[in-house]
Amino acid sequence: MKLQFAMDTLTTEHALALAAAAAPHVDILELGTPLIKSAGLSAVTAIKAAHPDKIVLADLKTMDAGELEADIAFTAGADLVTVLGSAGNSTIVGAVKAAQKHGKGIVVDLIGVADKAGRAQEVVALGVDFVEMHAGLDEQAEEGFTFATLLRDGEASGVKFSVAGGINASTIASVQRSGAAVAVAGGSIYGAPDVGAAAAELRAAII
């Protein structure tokens, strides 16, 4: 299972510092949606330049203009770009077209989708690399939140999936047991007093 570090920060400078600390322990460096909205796609270029050996994911969460948005992110240096599962199929097909042009990949984020397993099967048939079983920061803050349902949806989908939803060192093993290809961790790494140590702890918890 790969480890993806979601950098939900607001400046390229901070993202570069976070990435420098965590990179030895993670496989995928994710530029979070708030970071891209705040700093722009130049942040993607800066992270890829600093870490050419890492997979760089631009979390665009595209909802429309799939081909155009994916194209500009790939041109900026992204290896993977996210499109929302609630987008129309034509948006996803457009993003896949851009990915094929660049030799890169599309991840469909299933945040807010009720039938995650069913939609996962549909979008994989459209040519996306994998899907993300995702509960966002707001959903995580809701009373009674548990990401157990994400793991069940992933298993039920039968397709390649990542999981994101507040994963930490005590829960990452359950993510791996669910069969996830990628565990996405944001706050448990960037919110730790020692970012490198937190990333290393997550890595060590992966069997």
Write out the residues near ligand LJD2ZHX5 by the rule CB under 6 A.
Answer: 6, 8, 32-34, 59, 136-137, 140, 164-167, 184-188
Q: Would you put residue 87 in left (φ > 0), alpha (ψ -120 to 50) or beta?
A: beta
For residue 106, the cross-strand partners are 81
* Closest separation in Å from C-beta 168 to ligand LJD2ZHX5: 8
15 vs 167 by CB, closer to ligand LJD2ZHX5: 167
Return the structure tokens found at 128: 């996306």
* Cβ-proximal residue to ligand LJD2ZHX5, closest one: 186
9 vs 157 by CB, closer to ligand LJD2ZHX5: 9
86 vs 97 by CB, closer to ligand LJD2ZHX5: 86
* Closest separation in Å from C-beta 154 to ligand LJD2ZHX5: 15
Pairing relation of β-strands 161-164 and 130-134? parallel
103 vs 144 by CB, closer to ligand LJD2ZHX5: 144
* Closest separation in Å from C-beta 117 to ligand LJD2ZHX5: 19
Query: Using H for helix, E for strand and C for coil, what is the string for 46-78?
Result: HHHHHCCCCEEEEEEEECCCHHHHHHHHHHHCC
Residues with Cβ within 8 Å of residue 101, at least 6 apart in sequence: 71, 74
